Each structure stands twice: as C-alpha cells, then as structure tokens.
C-alpha cells in the first residue's frame, strides 16, 4: 500500500489522538465539541496507524523520507 506519512508525523498524530482521548474520557470536554474532537482523534489515530493521509493527495505532499 502507498504510504505518504513519515515516522515523526505518525508519532505526533498518535500522541495528539491519545491526548484527545484522555480529555474526552476524563470529561474535560463535553457536548457536541467533545463529539467533534473525538471524531478528529479517531481520524488522527487511523491515519497514523495505516501511514496514509488522504488530505495530502491533492497537494502531492509526503512526510516520508526517501531511503
């Protein structure tokens, strides 16, 4: 499968997703904001897990190093 995310990009996304999950499950964010932020967290963790970000495609971006 084609990947366009480097290791640091994946680590940052995973870390942000864990922080968002912590905020959500401790109740520090509530209501519709919590739902939206939780969905963003799910998006971040899923793209970090597979190493592919669909938002990079239209701009032909990659954070993956050659080598």
pLDDT per position as a tens digit, 13-62: 999 999 999 999 999 999 999 999 999 999 999 999 999 999 999 999 99
Q: What is the dihedral of CA 58, 40, 2, 10, to 10 degrees?
A: 120
Instruction: Say what the pLDDT of residue 53 is.
Output: 93
Domain presence at residue 61: no
Domain presence at residue 46: yes
- Tokens representing 21 are 């999950």
The domain total for the chain is 1
What residue numbers bound the domain in which 32 lies? 7-52
Instruction: Say what the pLDDT of residue 67 is.
Output: 66
Instruction: Say what the pLDDT of residue 16 is.
Output: 96
Domain presence at residue 58: no
Domain presence at residue 30: yes
Going by pLDDT thresholds of 50, 70 and 90, the confidence category of residue 65 is confident
């Amino acid at each position: 499968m084609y990947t366009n995310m480097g290791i640091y990009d994946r680590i940052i996304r995973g870390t942000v997703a864990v922080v968002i999950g912590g905020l959500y499950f401790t109740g520090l964010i509530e209501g519709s904001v919590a739902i939206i932020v939780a969905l963003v967290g799910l998006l971040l963790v899923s793209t970090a897990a597979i190493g592919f970000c669909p938002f990079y495609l239209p701009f032909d971006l990659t954070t993956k190093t050659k080598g």
